[in-house]
Structures are given as structure tokens and as C-alpha cells.
């Protein structure tokens, strides 16, 4: 995504994609989110009442922009923070238990994670009800590997005598997991560093997803290669296959119209580009912007 503020601010809203366009910027703007000079977009997903807005407020401070999602009466909040010289646009998604588009909130959250193609999606979970909360985390990880799981309300869990083994959970899920108590501003710096690591590639995500249900295996095996042919760069062909089996009209249209393919253009590798490992000063590296 462009780090030149003038580039992203002057980008035409109606642009459908061209050689000079960053597909991430285009898809995010189509969903009503302006980059405003930010380098990356981060989505905050989670079940209702898990502390998403508390995390959002802690990270973005008072500079927030609120409005509605285009064509919907669902409220949207955006803000920004900076870390290690990069600016991150943070988008607070509606609280949902799933991403199956069964409600407008679910549709908004699902569309943003899929079509908005955020550079990282943080799933805020409730440490006192992890089992239920991980259902949504798995659904997000099925769509995008660039996921960080935030186990919030750790203070509340402690009060109730619940312990959460963060390294074990991380090993189980295959994506970074960070413990926070957002209301006390605990763990937020670590959360930001995890997001920065996922965005710059220094933290690898290898989501460990549940196996395909046996009764769907044959059909999924037939559909996945077709999806991969139509959208070679897609990280989530199995998720698309699930949606097609369910008869999800929106996803079918996005596949047939080339909308999905435009989100995942195939890039040729560029020689000589090496990710520098992240250095930590030990001090807070997060700033509101």
C-alpha cells in the first residue's frame, strides 16, 4: 500500500483498478474507508462485548472518524495509530458471532475482511469465554491468514480463576496470540507489535484450520482447483468453496465477475527485496496519530 499520503488521498473514489492502483487501497475505499495517508489497514473483529471498541479507543486516542458503512445503517468507526514510522488505519467492525452474512452486521464484517482485504485482522476475544469466541477467529483465519488473536479481558479471567495458556493457544491456532486487558491498557503495545510483524512479514501466520467435514470433502476437492484457477492468488479457496456449496450469491457473483480475481493479482517476485527483522527498543513504540 502506498506510503505517500498524496497518492492515497487523491485516489479517485470510483476507480475500478488500473496498473498504478494498489488493489488493497481500491477495495478498502470502495467500502468507504479512506486511507488518509496511512500505510496499512487493520480491521478489528470479534464477538459482541469483547472489548473491540476499548482496544480501538486505546490505540487511536481521540482522533476518530465515525459514520455509516456505505448503504447500511451500521455504524463505522475509523482511527489511526503509528508504530515504527508506519501509520495504520484501524477499522472497528460490528460485533458478530460469525461471518456467514446472516445479519447486516455479519455481512459488513465479512465483506470488510474479504473484500476490504485489510493488511491484518485482529480478532478480539473474551478470555472468559474463549471456546465460543474462537469460532469467529477460525472463520476469519479461513478467509485470511493475516490474523492476530487478541485474548482480551485477561483481568476478568484472572478474577474468575481462569488461566489462558497463550503459547499453547498460539501453537494451536498457528497465528500470533496476544493477551490484553484493554481497559487497563495492558498488552496493547504487544498487540501492536504483533500487528506490525504480521503486516511486514516478520511474524509468519500459518493458520491451523479444522479439517474439511467428511461429507463435503469430495465436493470441496472438486471446487477448490476451479477457484484457484479463477483466482490464482487467493489465500482462501476452501472458504470460497464452502460459500459456493451453501449457495452464497454474493460470493458466486464476486467469483464470476472477476471481482475476487482483481483483489488477488498475481505478483512476480522482485529480486533483492529482503525484509529487515524488527528491532525492539523495549519502550512503547505506539503513538496515536
Ligand X SMILES: Nc1nc2c(ncn2[C@@H]2O[C@H](COP(=O)(O)OP(=O)(O)OP(=O)(O)O)[C@@H](O)[C@H]2O)c(=O)[nH]1
The residue ranges that bind ligand X (CB under 6 A) are 46, 48-54, 95, 152-153, 155-156, 181-183
| CB of residue 241 to ligand X, shortest distance in Å | 30
Q: What's the DSSP call for residue 128?
A: G
Nearer to ligand X, 8 or 128 (CB): 128
Do 179 and 163 meet the contact criterion of CB atoms below 8 Å apart? no
Q: What's the DSSP call for residue 37?
A: T
| CB of residue 77 to ligand X, shortest distance in Å | 9
Binding mask 2-41 for Mg ion (x = CB under 5 A): ----------------------------------------
Helix, strand, coil percentages, rounded to 5, for the chain: 40, 15, 40
**Residue 155 touches which of Mg ion, ligand X, none (CB < 5 to 8 A by kind)?**
ligand X
Q: Does 53 bind Mg ion (CB under 5 A)?
A: yes
Do 55 and 191 meet the contact criterion of CB atoms below 8 Å apart? yes
| CB of residue 128 to ligand X, shortest distance in Å | 10
SS3 state at 76: strand
> How far is residue 222 from each of residues 210, 218, 219, 244, measured CA to CA in Å?
19, 6, 5, 12
**Residue 42 touches which of ligand X, Mg ion, none (CB < 5 to 8 A by kind)?**
none
**Residue 46 touches which of Mg ion, ligand X, none (CB < 5 to 8 A by kind)?**
ligand X
**Residue 183 touches which of Mg ion, ligand X, none (CB < 5 to 8 A by kind)?**
ligand X
| CB of residue 92 to ligand X, shortest distance in Å | 7
Number of residues that bind Mg ion (CB under 5 A): 2
- Cell, residue 70: 456505505
Nearer to Mg ion, 75 or 256 (CB): 75
Q: Which H helix or E strand runs over 142?
A: helix 130-143
Do 180 and 191 meet the contact criterion of CB atoms below 8 Å apart? yes
235: CB partners within 8 A, 6+ apart? 143, 144, 145, 264
Residues that bind Mg ion (CB under 5 A): 52-53
Amino acid at each position: 500500500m502506498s506510503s505517500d499520503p498524496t497518492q492515497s488521498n487523491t485516489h479517485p473514489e470510483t476507480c475500478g483498478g488500473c496498473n498504478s492502483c494498489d488493489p488493497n487501497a481500491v477495495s478498502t475505499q470502495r467500502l468507504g474507508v479512506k486511507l488518509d495517508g496511512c500505510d496499512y489497514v487493520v480491521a478489528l473483529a470479534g464477538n459482541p462485548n469483547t472489548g473491540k471498541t476499548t482496544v480501538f479507543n486505546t490505540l487511536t486516542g481521540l482522533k476518530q472518524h465515525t459514520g455509516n458503512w456505505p448503504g447500511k445503517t451500521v455504524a463505522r468507526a475509523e482511527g489511526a495509530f503509528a508504530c515504527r514510522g508506519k501509520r495504520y488505519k484501524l477499522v472497528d467492525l460490528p460485533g458478530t458471532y460469525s461471518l456467514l452474512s446472516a445479519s447486516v452486521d455479519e455481512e459488513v464484517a465479512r465483506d470488510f475482511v474479504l473484500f476490504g482485504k485489510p493488511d491484518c485482522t485482529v480478532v478480539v476475544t473474551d478470555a472468559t469465554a474463549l471456546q465460543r469466541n474462537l469460532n469467529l477467529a477460525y472463520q476469519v483465519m479461513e478467509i485470511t491468514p493475516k490474523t492476530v488473536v487478541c485474548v482480551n479481558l485477561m483481568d476478568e479471567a484472572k478474577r474468575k480463576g481462569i488461566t489462558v495458556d497463550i503459547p499453547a493457544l498460539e501453537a494451536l491456532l498457528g497465528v500470533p496470540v496476544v493477551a490484553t486487558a484493554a481497559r487497563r491498557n495492558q498488552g496493547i503495545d504487544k498487540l501492536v507489535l504483533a500487528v506490525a510483524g504480521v503486516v511486514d512479514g516478520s511474524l509468519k501466520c500459518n493458520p491451523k484450520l479444522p479439517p474439511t467435514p467428511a461429507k463435503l470433502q469430495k465436493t470441496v476437492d472438486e471446487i477448490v482447483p476451479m477457484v484457484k484457477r479463477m483466482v490464482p492468488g487467493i489465500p482462501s479457496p476452501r472458504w470460497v468453496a464452502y460459500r459456493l456449496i451453501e449457495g452464497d450469491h454474493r460470493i458466486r457473483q464476486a467469483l464470476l465477475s472477476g471481482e475476487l480475481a482483481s483483489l488477488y493479482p498475481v505478483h512476480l517476485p522482485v529480486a533483492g527485496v529482503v525484509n529487515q527483522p524488527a528491532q525492539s527498543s523495549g519502550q512503547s513504540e505506539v503513538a496515536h496519530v
